[in-house]
């Protein structure tokens, strides 16, 4: 006859103390691993996006005042080629950061500075003092001396920079590339 188990002699569970620590389950481990990887990917995506959104505040906007030289270097009533260094460059931009523009001095401290790029497809326009016209070598775009559109495919006149005179120096606001809606 099998031996009967005597429940009265079984130890009281409250007297046994805490059992062994529960081991983490595989499902829980994979859940937290996936959550961690997702968090890393989210941060990696967010950093450039946030940087892009904050860049205008951080750098004071996408434009800066740059000098084109003393106003005496631009004779009255003439249009001369100017050049400035793009204020938003990296060290390896080298020579390509030097940006030409056309500077027209009407009288005294009255200046108009034109972007050199044609408003059609961006070719550099040239100034012809003999005819007082800007001409584009690519598709025959023509502009008057004040930069307004004269002929050819360009949809509008030349872009102009904002200018100011500071301590006898002509400065323009440069940096942002022009679009059909805005001046540079």
Interacting residues toward ligand FES by CB under 6 A: 118, 120-121, 123, 136, 138-141, 152-154
69 or 153: CB nearest ligand FES: 153
List, in sequence order, every beta strand (DSSP E) within 20-74: 64-70
The two tokens of residue 18 are 């805490």
Q: How far is the CB of 131 from ligand FES (least distance, A)?
A: 17
69 or 122: CB nearest ligand FES: 122
Distance CA 119, CA 102 (A): 14
Q: How far is the CB of 85 from ligand FES (least distance, A)?
A: 24
Distance CA 124, CA 152 (A): 15
Q: How far is the CB of 144 from ligand FES (least distance, A)?
A: 15
87 or 153: CB nearest ligand FES: 153
Q: How far is the CB of 125 from ligand FES (least distance, A)?
A: 7
Distance CA 105, CA 101 (A): 13
Distance CA 131, CA 150 (A): 12
Q: How far is the CB of 158 from ligand FES (least distance, A)?
A: 10
141 or 184: CB nearest ligand FES: 141
Q: Phi first, then psi: what are they for 42, rounded to 5°?
A: -60, -40
Q: Which residues have CB under 8 Å from 153's CB, separation 6+?
A: 120, 139, 140, 141
Distance CA 123, CA 95 (A): 18
Q: Rounded to 5 degrees, what angle do the CA atoms 163, 166, 170 make?
A: 45
85 or 139: CB nearest ligand FES: 139
Q: How far is the CB of 175 from ligand FES (least distance, A)?
A: 22
87 or 157: CB nearest ligand FES: 157
């Amino acid at each position: 006859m099998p031996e009967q188990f005597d429940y009265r002699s079984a130890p009281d569970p409250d007297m046994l103390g805490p059992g062994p620590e529960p081991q983490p389950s595989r499902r829980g481990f994979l859940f937290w691993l996936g959550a961690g990887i997702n968090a890393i990917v989210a941060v990696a995506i967010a950093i450039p996006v946030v940087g892009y959104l904050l860049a205008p505040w951080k750098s004071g906007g996408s434009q800066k005042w740059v000098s084109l030289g003393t106003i005496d270097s631009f004779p009255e009533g003439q249009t001369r080629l100017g050049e400035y260094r793009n204020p938003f460059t990296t060290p390896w931009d080298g020579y390509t950061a030097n940006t030409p523009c056309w500077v027209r001095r009407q009288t005294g401290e009255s200046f108009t500075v034109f972007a050199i790029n044609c408003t059609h497809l961006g070719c550099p326009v040239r100034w012809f003092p003999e005819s007082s016209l800007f001409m584009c070598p690519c598709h025959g775009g023509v502009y008057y001396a004040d930069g307004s559109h004269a002929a050819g495919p360009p949809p509008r006149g030349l872009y102009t920079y904002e200018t100011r005179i500071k301590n006898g120096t002509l400065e323009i606001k440069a940096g942002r590339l022009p679009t059909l809606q805005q001046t540079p």
